[in-house]
Amino acid sequence: MEPGAFKGTIGRYHMDSTPWWPAPVRPAVGTPNVVFILLDDVGFAQLGCFGSDIDTPVMDRLAAGGLRYANFHTTALCSPTRSCVMTGRNHHSNGMGRITDLATGFPGYDANIPRTNAFMADMLVEQGFAAYAVGKWHLVPEEDTNLGASRANWPLGRGFERFYGFHGGETHQFAPWLVHDNHFVAQPRSIEDGYHLTEDIADHAITDVYDLRATEPDKPFFLYFATGACHSPHQAPVHWLEHYRGRFDAGWDVARTEIIARQKEMGLLPAHTELSARPDWVPAWDELSRDEQRLYARFMEAFAAFLSHTDEQIGRVIDALAETGDLDNTLLVLASDNGASSEGGKLGSVNDARPWNLVDRPLDEAVARIDEIGGPRLHNNYPWGWTVAGNTPFRRWKREVHEGGVADPLIVHWPAGITDPGSIRHQYVHAIDLVPTALEVLGVAEPEVVRGVPQRPIEGASFAATFTDPDAAGPRNTQYYEMLGCRAIYHDGWKLVTYHPIQQDEPGIDQVPWELYDLSADPSECHDLAAAQPERVAQMDELWWAEADRYQVLPLDNRPFSEFTLARERVAATYVDEMVYRPDTGMVPEEATIDVHDRTHTIAAEVVVPDGGARGVLLSLGNLQGGFTFFVQSDRLAYVHNFVGKEWTRVDGPLTLTPGPHRLEMRFERTRQNRGTVTLVADGAVLGTGEIPRFTPNRWNLVGAGLYCGTDPGLAVCDDYEAPFEFTGTIERVVVTVEGPSRFDPQAAATIAAARQ
């Protein structure tokens, strides 16, 4: 209790004293609940109710019982949009001008959302609401995602009372990196037992609501349900993969034509909307070989299966809300964080870590492994052609600020507050408008102080008036955009926009010409009017710079990784020459491990063997899509290097482990770039040697599969044993030492970070 807040009296004895209890803060009876559902990398045209032929019956029912917003916009990227959805402020105001992995030392880009920009969870908990988050977070600076770091920006540090999900931009859907509240946990079921992450987070969302209703029948809550779908890897249960066999054989060109026709018929787009031209770098479907068509259709089947499975799990949460009697008075908002993703490249991908380790994407391997697409053994992602189709009718895609990157689906469902369910709204709405809209619906005033911290004004505006009035004014007539040097500004139906490739010097970031579009006449940005209207260009250019000053967008930088990013303070373990790991250490994220990439290093395990011998993993890092493992098996000491799920190199030697203490070592000597010799040693005696022809140079994998001592859980690094293959003796410690300079590649790191959005 704050000093001076006590309203009773305190005498020397109880008979001289009067107790006092502050009245609890409780929302008014009948206050709605709020549920935010945020999809990942789902484009404007990828839900059934937005023109797709992907089966999304649950989301379609929400749209039929609520409203679709056909003019909703995001920031073009993951963490930035999520920060808007959480705070009601623009992403640069939140220090989230980029994803958390690419922070720089400027206020708009430091990846630390200031306490002056409270999360809605913090605002509501102070008003007597419950607040729960499940799924993807990606709002913590990369250096703070390990168990030795501050939890200040983890969900429980930003107002949520329970959390279950994952950090980072993506994770493996069958073997994820899981966080429960403020610690890491193992997945509750194995892949063989049918585990899938989306089902798991749905389970926890349902449990959170049931637990609340078991004790507080009327307490309103805020639930943030953020799926990993449909970010790569596109992984889904087998029955959903089979459900889509043959569905996309006609290809992306036919799909785009059919989608825009449905969008116009639905009323999402005006009849005069043109289909933007297929980019030159995307081949026509009919020009592809039969193998290419078969493969690319299969990639799309996996995406569709992933999305439909997610729809099914959202349905389970909706059913639970109906069962508790909460659904009719719950403001449910469903959106995506950015346009469809192009990270699969021109050919698609079976392992997104490969390009970032200087490995190409051979078509023949993908065709040979076509039946594994969508399953646990691949990190698959579809090719550009399906990205363009997913953003129909718009140009470009995620990470860029043409409409393909920033126009996204939005559904609002609230039976108690929407008067014309099934309708479409065309007001211009941005992700920053979700928080103020929810606050208005809840009757909660914008707070001036949260947790004792004075607040910056919320920068979004409510669009709640549109729930009952289709002609109500929209919340804004101006909105700026900036993402990795790409810029745009919307004002009164016009849009000024420019594209600049990331990391490219020419033309200079200060020399890229503007494009101008009249979105009322040309929603898909097909007709550039910049040359015809130079005065409007100049006026809107001036407006963009004013908004940039206002929301701390400067300095502009199209380099994902530069000296600004290098200057960041990182986890100490990535700099030191020696680290000690123990079985009770728990998982260490790859970002926080000692850097052994392309360096001479030693892994030395000090163990005690019981009577009868011992077997199992001594140290592992990564999973089947890339990593290494050092283990004892069948009287042999072994080391396996998994090069991005493409090449497994095993070095082993005979080993007889008598009871008692032993020192088991793997010594890697770098002989030239990304190559070296492994020597296995037991108690000073050499057991075997072998060469690693390609040592992983930059990143073991992209899905958060970290380092473990004494086990290899989830999806094992190799097929030589069954996970988790725990060591059956006692591991006192495992010491990893490195020699020589770090060969950290900033450009590769930037590319990796960009791929994990």
What single letter denotes the amino acid at residue 97?
Answer: G
Q: What is the pLDDT of residue 53?
A: 96
pLDDT in tens, 644-700: 999 999 999 999 999 999 999 999 999 999 999 999 999 999 999 999 999 998 889
Q: What is the pLDDT of residue 745?
A: 63
Give long-range contacts, CB 8 A cutoff, 24+ apart: 247-250.
247/53, 247/297, 247/300, 247/301, 247/304, 248/297, 248/300, 248/301, 248/304, 249/293, 249/297, 250/285
pLDDT-derived band of residue 359, with 50, 70 and 90 as boundaries?
confident
pLDDT-derived band of residue 15, with 50, 70 and 90 as boundaries?
very high
Give CA–CA dist 537/544, Å, rounded: 10
Q: Extract the tokens encoding 378.
A: 């691949």
Give CA–CA dist 366/292, Å, rounded: 10
Give CA–CA dist 113/87, Å, rounded: 9
Q: What is the pLDDT of residue 756?
A: 47
Contact 379, 353 (CB under 8 A): yes
What single letter denotes the amino acid at residue 196?
Answer: H
Q: Extract the tokens encoding 732.
A: 């006192």
Please state the rounded mean pLDDT for residues 64-79.
98
Is the domain covering 576-741 a CATH 3.40.50.150 domain? no
Q: What is the pLDDT of residue 81?
A: 98
- Return the number of other C-beta atoms located less than 10 Å from residue 12's C-beta: 7
DSSP 688-713: EEEEESS---S-S-SS---EEES---
Mean of per-residue pLDDT scores for the chain: 94
Q: What is the pLDDT of residue 527?
A: 98
Give CA–CA dist 68/50, Å, rounded: 8
Please state the rounded mean pLDDT for residues 59-72.
98
The rounded percent of the chain whose pLDDT value lies above 70 is 95
Spacing of C-alpha 439 from chain mean position: 26
Q: Strands (DSSP E) along 176-312, which ranges?
A: 178-180, 183-185, 221-226
Give CA–CA dist 92/107, Å, rounded: 8
Superfamily of domain 33-474 in CATH is: Alkaline Phosphatase, subunit A (3.40.720.10)
Please state the rounded mean pLDDT for residues 538-557.
97
Given a cut of 80, is residue 746 above it in pLDDT?
Answer: no
Please state the rounded mean pLDDT for residues 60-89.
98
Give CA–CA dist 83/551, Å, rounded: 14
78-97 exposure pattern, b = at least 16 Cβ within 10 A, e = fewer: bbbbbbbbbbbbbbbbbbbb
Give CA–CA dist 455/120, Å, rounded: 12
Please state the rounded mean pLDDT for residues 305-318.
98
Give CA–CA dist 709/606, Å, rounded: 12
Q: What is the pLDDT of residue 434?
A: 98
The rounded percent of the chain whose pLDDT value lies above 90 is 87
Q: Which residues, including other chains, have CB under 8 Å from residue 37's CB and lie 6 or more apart?
A: 225, 226, 227, 314, 332, 333, 334, 335
Please state the rounded mean pLDDT for residues 271-289.
97
Contact 488, 365 (CB under 8 A): no
SS3 469: coil
Please state the rounded mean pLDDT for residues 167-183.
96
Of the candidates 287, 302, 296, the residue with the CA atom closest to the CA atom of residue 345: 296
SS3 84: helix
The one-character DSSP state at 78 is: H
pLDDT in tens, 456-501: 999 999 999 999 999 999 999 999 999 999 999 999 999 999 998 8
410-436 exposure pattern, b = at least 16 Cβ within 10 A, e = fewer: bbbbbeebbeeeeebbbbbbbbbbbbb
Give this prediction's pTM: 0.96
Spacing of C-alpha 723 from chain mean position: 26
Length of the chain: 757
Q: Extract the tokens encoding 223.
A: 């639930």
Q: Give the helix ranges, DSSP H, for 22-137.
A: 57-64, 78-87, 120-125
Q: What is the pLDDT of residue 415?
A: 97
Rg, Å, the chain Cα set: 27
Is the domain covering 479-558 a CATH 3.30.1120.10 domain? yes
Of the candidates 115, 117, 72, the residue with the CA atom closest to the CA atom of residue 91: 117
Q: Give the helix ranges, DSSP H, for 232-289.
A: 238-243, 252-266
Q: What is the pLDDT of residue 508?
A: 79
pLDDT-derived band of residue 1, with 50, 70 and 90 as boundaries?
low
Q: Give the start-to-end residue ranges of the domains of the chain.
A: 33-474, 479-558, 576-741
pLDDT in tens, 75-118: 999 999 999 999 999 999 999 999 988 888 899 999 999 999 99
- Return the number of other C-beta atoms located less than 10 Å from residue 556's C-beta: 15
Please state the rounded mean pLDDT for residues 704-731.
96
pLDDT in tens, 200-231: 999 999 999 999 999 999 999 999 999 999 99
Please tell me if the domain spanning 479-558 has the same topology as the one spanning 576-741.
no
